[in-house]
Amino acid sequence: SSGHNTKNCQSWNLIPGLRRPNNGPPQGDVTVDMGEADFGKEKDMRKMSFFNPLDPVPKYDFYAKDTWAGRIKKTRPSLDVLRKPVSKTPEEDGRPKVKLVRFGWVLGVMIRAMLNIWGVIMYLRLPWITSQAGLILTYVIIFMSIVVTTITATSVSAISTNGKIYSGGTYFMISRSLGPELGAPIGLLFAFANAIACALHTVGFAETVRDLLKDYDSQMVDDVNDVRIVGAITVVILLCITFAGMAWEAKAQILFFIAIMLSLINYFVGTVIPTNREKESVGFFGYRDIFVENLLPSYRGPNGYFFRLFAIFFPAATGILSGVNICGDLKDPTGGIPKGTLLAILWTTLSYLLISVTSATVVRDASGNVNDSLALTNFTTHCTGLGCKLGWNFDRCEQNRTCRHGLANNLRVRWGILITIGVFAATLSSALGFLVSAPKIFQCLCKDNIYPYIGFFGKGYGKNNEPLRGYSLMFCIAMAFILIGDLNTIAPLISNFFLCSYGLINFSTFHASVTQSPGWRPEYHYYSPWTSLFGSFLSFILMFLFTWWAALVTFFIVLFLLGYVTYTKPSECHALPVKQQNPKSSFLLVILFFSQSLCLGKLKPNTLVLGYKMNWQECKPESLQDYINTISNAFDSSYGIAILRMMDGLDVTDNVHSIVFPFELNLVPFDLGPYKTFLIPHPDISDDGSNEQVRSVFQTKQGRKSIDIYWISDDGGLTLLVPYLLTRRNRWKKCKLRVFILGDQETIKEDRKDMKMLLKRFRLEIEDLVIITDVDKTPLAKNLQRYEETIAPFRLSEEQAGGDIQELKRLSPWKISNKDLEAIQPKIERTLRLNEIIKKNSIHAALVAISLPVPDVTCPSSLYMSWMDALSYGIHCPVLLIRGNQENVMTFYCQ
């Protein structure tokens, strides 16, 4: 290629909000994905960087996991393999590819959430609430509930797109994204709330069965004990179903959905069918004067006040996190969860509003006696109620409080066979869903060993790792609440725990946003931290307005759980650092890396930071050997390495002469003594001072420059992470990130597509992605000549080359033999060419980060030093040669 075609660049403009590829798979019903199309082509796996035949270029498959993607996990070679290369590259382990069922957003999120939102309250309590609160206040209750759940849905959408999730639902995503301090209390509360929700829907089912038994004069004991008996039997059957397996669960969801839809259609059609005398006797009169009369409240009984009715209704708005609980099984969680959850809220809200309106077409009190019709009695009979205007006299039962029909007295308004089937479908599907999800959440919490004495329940059984012990525990909790036997008592308790969970979720989103946590990089941007804060306060206020004593108990429990986790400080670091120290001094880069070496915020991996050895050509050979041995020992100890090269040095002597830590660093292989000192790099006096580039130092403000990342080898992502962390600080926030990778002209489109997808999964704001396709071009002759002059003093002379090479290398390990030079010559030529490309394309960069080559154990110290010099020579901005320890520090999973 010509000298001008040094790169293929595509500007990647950032789009606020959700970014999705146009050519993604259509979202629909269940599909089986063999993983063949997900960026895992075998030909791509053969692409290696020129640093080492075993050192691969960055690839999607090194970060994808087979349990989610349905294909065999690819692993990059370790540092030990790169330093002691084997004769052949590792081969596939031969395991067969696993089929994985994935759900689209319709079935996996929207329908699942709608089934959990619809439930016992919609059928058994919404018409009754309308009779008590009136249509206007019922609408206020519905809209206030939807405000809380919609804000929570946007917060959950942000959290759920902050990394892939396997299982554990809300607890897993919050603990991995925002830390166990916030995730553990939320997870415990949410699991408990799900167990109580199972009890609520089971009691709703039991109430329906009890009423049917009463219709046929088959009551067993009394109203309350019949509910307890039927509820206990039902939850035992549900437990047996969970033990037997849930392979049919997805298809059953569709059947349940169809049943509910048929019942709703039947209900709405019934409101427009002309009435007859039998219907009017029980209160059905259609859309006449009743609608206006039912606008205002008519409170009755111990539950007859606004916030009590609100508390009873609120469980009808929960269930919005159903899609999150299975997001590891979704085709596209990033787009599916926000879209499916918000649409589920929309459709269920519309159904609630319509049911409330149609319920207001029934009078509050009716006797059910056809003889109370004024058409059959003397018209001079005195009556004062609403029924008089409609031709009926219900005064007697109203005054005696003996009316058995009407909106305020009969919980089964407008019921027929289809509506009964719909109630069974809604209650059983919701009860089963909550009984399954609660142990899954609790199992994940148990496995993390955050709280003592609960690990027993985390054990999984079978190929699907089913938490059978967790099922038994949640069954016991559900059974305890079922024995209460009163839906109006259980509903406010559920509201309390769900409101607390939603409040903590919203506060977690607010906290992660305002603290600018590095691990907080959601792909979903249509949320506001201040809206989340408002949703959090609203949830907590409603808790006290609903049931103040339960709210106090819940808050004390949360504070205890939060305090325990904060005090014990779990040692497991689950995700990208969320608590690392925020550097404040002008020596930003150095402090950042030292915070890693000191394990501040539990950053991984430990990273050794060195200044570039400027006088390596003039110093004593033993000094050079010690410098390279330090790097080699760090690699052998699986440390990350960062070497900072400054053309003009970094003069911070007015503020800092050296950085001294009066305690032992975790750098045992390096005998540096009890007091650790990081020295400021010396000026780079070796460069020729060419004026072709613009010099740049760590200024107070970097301005609108770029940070150029030359990601040559896949090291686990440390080369990407450190520049990204810099852009989160005020001094660097205006700098844009540009990523340069190696590629082939023939596969440039595939290379760009794969890398764009990988960077998108990392949730990094990358402005430009550049594919370098001509690194194999011969470098300029003057650069080759300069390199040969650089290593000339370290080469063995002809007389020495004729002697015992092994003995000479043992006595002078920094010496370079002809064999050493021949082995590395192709790499050096490509390195020199890459250096030319960097100097041309990064002329205005504020910082250049380049993958650091990993030296072979047989590579002489002077040869490796010349390699680093060839890579970073003549670049007039700060150069960071960086290499991770081959373990993932960047991830698109929460782990």
Output the pLDDT for position 178.
Answer: 63
- How far is it, in rounded angstroms, from Cα 862 to Cα 795? 9
Summarize the confidence of residues 13-18 as an average pLDDT.
34
In terms of C-beta distances under 8 Å and separation of at least 24 residues, what long-range contacts does 457-464 make, across chains too? 464/245
- How far is it, in rounded angstroms, from Cα 298 to Cα 890? 59
**Given a cut of 60, is residue 471 above it in pLDDT?**
yes
> Which of 43-47, 124-128, 697-701 is predicted most confidently?
124-128
Q: With residue 193 as reference, give the H or E element that holds it.
A: helix 180-215
Summarize the confidence of residues 652-659 as an average pLDDT.
35
Summarize the confidence of residues 665-678 as an average pLDDT.
32
**Given a cut of 80, is residue 500 above it in pLDDT?**
yes
Residue 21 or 842, more confident:
842
**Given a cut of 70, is residue 601 above it in pLDDT?**
no
What is the C-alpha radius of gyration for the chain, rounded to an integer number of angstroms? 34
Least confident range of 27-31, 413-417, 673-677: 673-677
Least confident range of 39-43, 359-363, 433-437, 838-842: 39-43
**Given a cut of 80, is residue 656 above it in pLDDT?**
no
Summarize the confidence of residues 497-523 as an average pLDDT.
84
Output the pLDDT for position 229.
Answer: 94
Summarize the confidence of residues 406-419 as an average pLDDT.
77
Among candidate residues 558, 448, 456, the one with its CA nearest the CA of residue 499: 558
Output the pLDDT for position 40.
Answer: 39
**Given a cut of 50, is residue 406 above it in pLDDT?**
yes
**Given a cut of 70, is residue 439 above it in pLDDT?**
yes
Exposure b/e, 739-751, CB count within 10 A at least 16 = b: bbbbbeeebeeeb
Residue 587 or 836, more confident:
836
Summarize the confidence of residues 411-436 as an average pLDDT.
82
Peptide bond into 492 cis (omega under 30): no
Output the pLDDT for position 34.
Answer: 31
Summarize the confidence of residues 671-683 as an average pLDDT.
32
**Given a cut of 80, is residue 266 above it in pLDDT?**
yes
Half-sphere exposure of 552 (CA within 13 A, CB side): 2
Taking each helix axis from N to C end, the angle separating 126-160 and 529-546, rounded to the nearest 10 degrees, works out to: 150
- How far is it, in rounded angstroms, from Cα 518 to Cα 720? 12
**Given a cut of 80, is residue 791 above it in pLDDT?**
yes
Summarize the confidence of residues 551-563 as an average pLDDT.
89
Structure tokens at 502: 């939603």
**Given a cut of 70, is residue 693 above it in pLDDT?**
no
Bridge partners, 881 (sequence order) = 643, 850
How are the residues of the chain apportioned to helix, strand and coil, as percentages rounded to the nearest 5?
A: 50, 10, 40
Phi, psi of 288 (to 5 degrees): -125, -140
> What count of residues does the chain have?
895
Quick: pLDDT tens for 831-874.
Answer: 899 999 999 888 888 899 999 988 888 888 888 898 899 889 98
Output the pLDDT for position 551.
Answer: 92
Judged on CB neighbours under 10 Å (0-12, 13-18, 19+), 411 is: middle
* Local confidence band at 633 (pLDDT 50, 70, 90 cut-offs): confident
- How far is it, in rounded angstroms, from Cα 838 to Cα 753? 23
Distance of CA 299 to the CA centre of its chain: 44
Output the pLDDT for position 885.
Answer: 84
Specify whether the CB–CB gap between 681 and 645 falls below 8 A.
Answer: yes
Quick: pLDDT tens for 164-191.
Answer: 665 556 677 777 666 677 778 888 888 8
* Local confidence band at 705 (pLDDT 50, 70, 90 cut-offs): confident
CA dihedral over 845, 751, 157, 570, signed as positive or negative: negative
Structure tokens at 301: 């009984």
Output the pLDDT for position 664.
Answer: 32
* Local confidence band at 623 (pLDDT 50, 70, 90 cut-offs): confident
Output the pLDDT for position 95.
Answer: 43
- How far is it, in rounded angstroms, from Cα 408 to Cα 432? 30
Output the pLDDT for position 166.
Answer: 57
Output the pLDDT for position 846.
Answer: 87
Summarize the confidence of residues 1-19 as an average pLDDT.
37
Peptide bond into 90 cis (omega under 30): no
Domain range annotation of the chain? 118-366+405-568, 588-883
Output the pLDDT for position 561.
Answer: 87
Quick: pLDDT tens for 331-379.
Answer: 777 778 888 899 999 999 999 999 988 887 788 888 878 777 776 665 5
Q: What order do you get walking across the sheet with 766-772 strand by strand?
A: 8-11, 766-772, 736-742, 706-710, 845-851, 879-883, 640-645, 607-611
Output the pLDDT for position 699.
Answer: 53
Percent of the chain with pLDDT over 70: 74
Summarize the confidence of residues 507-533 as an average pLDDT.
84
Summarize the confidence of residues 779-806 as an average pLDDT.
78
Structure tokens at 465: 């790792």
Output the pLDDT for position 481.
Answer: 92
Output the pLDDT for position 531.
Answer: 94
**Given a cut of 50, is residue 682 above it in pLDDT?**
no
Output DSSP code: residue 778. P
**Given a cut of 50, is residue 98 above it in pLDDT?**
no
Percent of the chain with pLDDT over 90: 14
Cα 796 to Cα 622, 785, 804, 819, distances in angstroms = 16, 18, 11, 11
- How far is it, in rounded angstroms, from Cα 59 to Cα 119? 46
Least confident range of 210-224, 472-486, 791-805: 791-805
Among candidate residues 763, 729, 686, the one with its CA nearest the CA of residue 846: 729
CA dihedral over 264, 266, 269, 270, signed as positive or negative: negative
Specify whether the CB–CB gap between 481 and 196 falls below 8 A.
Answer: yes
Specify whether the CB–CB gap between 729 and 702 falls below 8 A.
Answer: no
> Which of 322-326, 428-432, 685-689 is predicted most confidently?
428-432
Q: Domain 118-366+405-568, what architecture? A: Up-down Bundle (1.20)
Output the pLDDT for position 359.
Answer: 81
* Local confidence band at 136 (pLDDT 50, 70, 90 cut-offs): very high
> Which of 63-77, 112-126, 539-553, 701-715 is predicted most confidently?
539-553
Question: Over the chain, what is the mean pLDDT?
Answer: 75
